[in-house]
Chain A
Amino acid sequence: MENQEKQFRLNVTRRHFLTKAGLGFGSAALGSMLFKDQLFGVDQQQTIPLGLAQYAPKAKRIIYLFQNGAPSQLETFDYKPLLNKMHGEELPASIRMGQRLTGMTANQEKFPLVGSTFGFSQHGQSGAWISELFPNIASIADDICIVKTMNTEAINHDPALTFFQTGAQQGNRPSMGAWMSYGLGSENSNLPSYTVLLSRGRGNGQGVYSKLWTNGFLDSVHQGVVFSSGEDPVLYLKNPEGHDKQSRRDMLDQLAKFNSEAFENFGDPEINTRIKQYEMSYRMQSAVPELTDLSKESDTTIKLYGPDCLVPGTYAANCLLARKLSESGVRFVQLYHQGWDTHGNLANDMRMQAEDVDRASAGLIKDLKQRGLLDETLVIWGGEFGRTNYCQGKIDVANYGRDHHPKCFSIWMAGGGIKPGMVYGETDEFGYNPIKDPVSVHDFHATVLHLMGINHEQLTYRHLGRRYRLTDVAGQVVNGIIA
């Protein structure tokens, strides 16, 4: 631990030194790959991150497995047998307490409670209740911390997703990953510090939007870089046809000659920055394909994630890729997996979605653990809100639907300073309201930043006259889940 702290402080010192001293580009590779740009950026004053390293970081990197569409807490980690007992009975007004409803069920005449069609059992030392849909996640119960009392302000997908990723429901604020990139840079000089991986399950999808990985008002170097499963893992990475590595090298050498002459003539430091950026893009061209090549993974690894991990673009493949990116020093790997929006046909959709994500999610934790990386990698699994305890549409024991529910839902976290094997927070018997230790989205952000060694009140950026932060004007670190 002490060693880790030292290392981090060293990094921070180095970063501050570079930023303040405005050293030449030669040393920039020590920091983020894109960091050099901050040295020569348009506004030095604004790009110096403040308030870092208030305390030793517990995590160095984050992998966020976003379950897009909002998985039901009642079929995953929040076991509510009362709902099965009261199946079909009306949601008591004393429980609803005037909670606003979405336009999809606001006009429903009745709000009949509906119990989970899936069985639950207890797992691990903590005896966490986990649905039968997730046998693999159940097998890592001792490694994860389930938070049952997450809550949000939004009741629709777009604002809720945007809130989770940027701290505000309306877009144009920097996303979590962008803040991390801004605050901490990258550990790898050949890769971006913030990458995004997209996949879609077989359930009802709700789309993702580039504002979820936007840099907002931060420099565009902090934008999430989408790694895709197509032939070009990063957009525009591939050399044109008829153009091999040597031709590219030759062209870069020519460019450098011309550009150096331009620098002689104009003395504009941006020219030298550009020369270096071209060199970096060249290195990326080798580093990225090497990294995204999953063909050399061992059978044991493939077993962990499941055979789907060899099918590019699947959730499993993205989990494996996330591990590789993270292992290579990418600060923030953001996955989105669509398909959890179970307004109807919940039983079938949940089963399919769980099939697609259960093994790989657990596999990622096991893989990180066996590589000794789990301690320094924070993994987060969860959606943008929860689902109602009452039925949307037709009610049936075997199949039913659930509308959006913001007041309580379950996520889990593991590694990077999180207390393993625990369940945090309590919800009422109806699975509708938190009754102990509620965690808001701002609290969640404050906690994640804390784990990364950042005081959420002090990582700020001044834009149009105001200091912005990820947690806006709120947020309390949830100490109860920190190891």
Chain B
Amino acid sequence: MTNAQLLIKLAKNKILVTSSAIVLMGIGFYFFTSGNEQEDAIPDVVDFNFHVRPILSDRCFKCHGPDANKRQADLRLDTEEGAFAALKEDPSKHVIVAGDPMQSALYARLITTDTAEVMPPPSSNLSLTKTEIAIIKKWISQGAKYKKHWSFIAPVRPKIPVADEDLNPRNPIDHFIFSKLDEVGMTPNPEASREALLKRVSMDITGLPPTIEQQERFLADQSPNAYEKVVDELLSSKHYGEKMAIQWMDLARYADSHGYQDDGLRTMWPWRDWVIHAFNSNYPFSKFLTWQIAGDLLPNPTKEQLLATGFNRNHKITQEGGVIDEEYRIEYVSDRTNTFGKAFLAITLECAKCHDHKYDPVSQKDYYSMFAFFDKVPEKGLVGTIDASFADPPSMKITSADVSTVLNFINKKDTMDVSVMIMKDSLSIRETQLLRRGVYDQKADTVQMATPAAILSYNTKKYQQNRLGLARWMIDPENPLTARVYVNRIWNELFGRGLVKTSGDFGMQGELPSHPELLDWLAVEFRETGWDIKKLIRLIVTSTTYRQSAKRPTDKAQKDPDNKYYSFFPRLRLSAELQRDLVLSAAGIINPEIGGPSVKPYQPKGVWESTTSGRGELAKYVQDKGDKLYRRGLYNFIKRTAPPPSLLIMDASTRDQCEVTRSRTNTPLQALVLMNDPQLLEAARVLAQRTANMKLSEDQKLDRMFRQVLCRKATENEMKMLKAYYQQEKNKFTLHKENAEQFLKAGEFEQIKTKNIAETAALMQVNQMIFNLDETTVK
């Protein structure tokens, strides 16, 4: 049976309807993405949320959707009323006649051969495929039932499905995943090797590879809960907070410079130290969120709560002389609003800044009602030109006294006070008005603070009209998005693909969840167990699903090329920061210090200098010395107009604006970084010198280096290859000692004397090769 036939069969046989208004039909999508045009590929029961709305939204809503100003022919298809309405030009006819496609104007306009009549107009480049038209037809035949968009319905805990006990389901996650796999005729992979598992979970939780000692301890631990013990250990490591902070810094667009033009220095790093602290202290997500959104509005806010509000001041700030103050102030408020939408709700609010949203039920008025929450800050668009300020008001001072008491998680290096930008409201400062076309001086009607009713209406009896109320609205059990969005984000971080693939867009144009019930179960579980982030991560990483091997059998790759059913663990390239951390850590030169001002490690000459206007203290890159060269990647100084190239090449965020997911590319420039970056060469050198001086045989030395980086023992064949390569390089370096000397000069780390320079250089060469292995760069 071919793949397509199999899926057709499945589609015909397995239609699951759940209690929670979600119809589970991931299978049908297979056909859309694979471009299969066979009519019999249409599911037996066509579901509005899963089959029809994606088509209507993508092809029709732009002109017949929520945006009232751009609506054509006064027809809207995003609501039931609009879709069943009588036609304006001929009231005897209707857009859709439930049960009768041939009487439905909508269908007629899809199938007509008259190019002047056909919809969408051919020039729009949005035409429907035959399959899509057939789906619309069938949906109308079956009664044309509309449903509320799935993500706007609050999640209810679904029943846990039965899973095959032979597959060893360890927790409810496995039940959901395995029962879905069973539906599509697949089975999970067996468990990964213990070594692979240890590396994976270490990189996922602390972002640091296990040492050889940790590897050996785990391999030797025969107790049934050996793995769970390691997980708990990792979760209690102080490096957990650092790993978690990386993603949050992308969402929060954290940087060390202001971001426009001359791009002066700012000192937001104490806020970053707080993020690490908050994760390490396992603050419930509800508290984590509330403090960042509204810490300043809590009764008698502590300095820590004020510091947390720096989240909303991480946006870019201009220092370009001559800009119009209000234009930029509006820009900052918009940035906060957009970031709020993307980071917490996964709704692209910014689309409604200039006009009603084209796809989602967010009107322009809704946008400015959200905007109003962030619009009461006593701030200016332009405080002054370059070096005017490292922290524009409102700001707070962090003194040495604070650091020794209430803010003891801040790694302040000297006795100088540090200023950090924070939030503050002056409610009477200004009225918020809708801005026509989003233009700063086109003020229209005054709006009040509120949220889009389609998500959850803003009941002012329940929530205050300020950011604190907004935070309460977010953590209200009725809020359909907050918990789902966050659990999906964590899932995405661990599996490289969210249960909703578009983890920044849960709206109509976003992808539908691959496992809607699992998503809901996780969301409810997360909320009901106190928004406990560590618990959530523990749950996922101890599942059998997570513990699968990363082998990708051919049949699985063919059946499910995107691995959206999780029948094997995906091999995921490490993020830019973690690639660095892994290598420095394996070489034993990583500096484990937590927090503090960002650092400037090696960087090719001229990156800042060739772009600068010449003004300000960031015109020249002054590389740090000593210990600071070996800090973890997340402490790398981010100058927004010229971010660190080695990170950018590895797909790190420019921190220009809130970034939800990074892409994972594979390019020749990445190869050049891994082969020629002095940071990695230095690590290879130090590891070689240290290993050379150990009382070990050559084989043992090679084996040890390999294990330190790959976190597993080399296979027999690999050992053979390593030895041959080592021998070959040693011979070359023996013949050309001058090359060995040059090669071993890499980096500023103290030189370690070894007996035989050719041997050491050959070991370094082997290390360099190991650092570049594909397996090294994946988790």
Contacts and interface: CB of A to CB of B under 8 A. Distances in A.
B388 interface: no
A330 to B, nearest CB: 15
Closest 10 CB pairs of A and B: A465-B509, A242-B742, A242-B743, A207-B613, A102-B322, A209-B641, A281-B668, A104-B322, A281-B671, A241-B742
17 contacts: A156-B322, A157-B320, A170-B657, A209-B261, A210-B643, A211-B641, A232-B604, A236-B669, A241-B742, A243-B739, A265-B551, A266-B550, A266-B571, A277-B668, A404-B322, A457-B125, A466-B348
Nearest to A243: B743
Nearest to A258: B773
Interface string B670-684: 111101111001000
B606 interface: yes
Nearest to B316: A171
Contacts of A466: 348, 351, 358-359, 509
A471 B744 CA distance: 52
Interface residues of B, number: 100
Given A207-B261, A241-B746, A464-B505, A220 B665 contact: yes
Nearest to A280: B668
A226 B358 CA distance: 37
Contacts of A34: 667-668
B71 to A, nearest CB: 16
Nearest to A207: B613
Contacts of A226: 610
B132 to A, nearest CB: 15
Interface string A262-283: 1001111111011101101100
Contacts of A172: 654, 656-657
B381 to A, nearest CB: 10
A265 B710 CA distance: 15
A228 B663 contact: no
A237 B261 contact: no
A251 interface: yes
Interface stretch (B102-110, B198-206, B282-290, B724-732): B724-732
Interface residues of A, number: 90
A72 interface: no
A199 B342 CA distance: 37
Contact of B322 (A103, A231, A248): A103
A8 interface: no
A51 B667 contact: no
A158 B774 contact: no
Contacts of A241: 742-743, 745-746
B670 A277 contact: yes
Interface of B: 33, 125, 260-263, 318, 320-325, 331, 342, 348, 351, 358-360, 382, 502, 504-505, 507-510, 550-554, 557, 571, 573, 604-607, 610-615, 640-643, 645-646, 648-649, 651, 654, 656-657, 660, 663-673, 675-678, 681, 717-718, 721, 725, 728-729, 732, 738-746, 761, 765, 768-769, 772-775, 777
Contact of A254 (B320, B360, B769): B769
A266 B553 CA distance: 8
A348 interface: no
Contact of B318 (A105, A158, A198): A158
Contacts, number: 256
Interface string A214-245: 10000111010110101110111111111110
Nearest to B261: A158
A50 B320 contact: no
Contacts of A251: 675, 765, 768-769, 772
Given A237-B676, A465-B505, A219 B663 contact: yes
Nearest to B724: A254
Contact of A242 (B359, B571, B612, B744): B744
A370 to B, nearest CB: 31
Nearest to A228: B606
B618 to A, nearest CB: 10
Given A214-B656, A274-B666, 20 more contacts: A50-B125, A105-B322, A156-B322, A157-B261, A172-B656, A207-B612, A209-B263, A221-B667, A223-B648, A236-B677, A242-B742, A251-B769, A254-B725, A254-B769, A258-B721, A259-B773, A281-B675, A464-B342, A465-B348, A465-B509
Interface string A129-160: 00000000000000000000000000111100
A208 B323 contact: no
A299 interface: no
A464 B348 contact: yes
Query: Which of A45, A200, A268 neighbours the largest number of chain B CB atoms within 10 Å of its CB?
Result: A268
Given A104-B321, A209-B611, A241-B743, A262 B667 contact: no
Interface in A448-468: 457-458, 460, 462, 464-466
Interface string A157-180: 110000000000011100000000
Given A103-B322, A240-B676, A210 B669 contact: no
Given A230-B605, A250-B728, A465-B348, A267 B261 contact: no
Nearest to B646: A236
A52 to B, nearest CB: 12
B348 A247 contact: no
B671 A277 contact: yes
Given A33-B668, A466-B351, A211 B656 contact: yes
Contacts of A171: 654, 656-657
Nearest to A68: B613
Nearest to A237: B672
A251 B721 CA distance: 12
A210 B642 contact: yes
Given A103-B322, A465-B359, A230 B606 contact: yes
Contacts of B382: 103
A257 interface: yes
Contacts of A381: none
Given A211-B654, A465-B502, A270 B320 contact: no
